[in-house]
Amino acid sequence: MSVISNWTNANQHVDTTINVERFANSAHTVIYARLATAGATQFYPIGVVQGWSFTEQRQVEEIFELGSDVRYIVPGRTTGQIGINRLLISGGDLLNVLYGSFGANGGLIPEALTSLKDVTKPIDMLFVTYDADSGAAENMVRYFNNCWIIMRQEQIGANQVVIAENCTLVFENIDTTIVTTDSAHN
């Protein structure tokens, strides 16, 4: 038998140990990308991001047998996607920002990549939340390796001033990584 305590939802939270300062804050979150090639170490921040999403799904096979209504659930492969929503910056569309098409002066090369057909290598993506006071990377780090863009979109409506960009990426794996910050860029 399970025993549960009385619940007073009107005057308490479910988890009374959470401090509001522990919630991840979008103002302290940065998305980075880099080419997924051997020796690549520098991640570049992706600015003007309005939204980011990450999903995973796992295949399962349900197996039944004659003589029983109880099923076996056999886990299969896991796949995932990343979605990025961004505002278009003249000369620096999302495709070129993700692939680091930067010139010698550090600026983006206008229209270096014009289509997904131009993309021949995967990228790595890094999602990091930073501590508001110290600027140090916190525990919320997601490192997605070997990402490929499978969809990109630009859109504007008659009542909008700016053009929105969206892209969907698939990734090979979520890896662990140690994030070090360059104090010059905090």
pLDDT digits (tens, 9 = 90+) for 75-123: 999 999 999 999 987 767 888 888 876 555 555 565 578 899 999 999 9
Residues 79, 170 contacting (CB under 8 angstroms)? yes
Residue 96's CB is within 10 A of a number of other CB atoms, namely 20
Confirm if 137 and 76 have CB atoms less than 8 A apart: no
pLDDT at 19: 78
The per-residue pLDDT of the chain, averaged, comes to 84
Determine if the pTM surpasses 0.85: no
Could you tell me the pLDDT band of residue 178, with boundaries at 50, 70 and 90?
A: low
For residues 160 and 154, is the Cβ–Cβ distance under 8 A? Answer: no
Q: What value does the mean pLDDT take over residues 33-50? A: 85
- Per-domain residue ranges of the chain: 24-59+86-181
Residues 112, 101: Cα–Cα separation, whole Å: 6
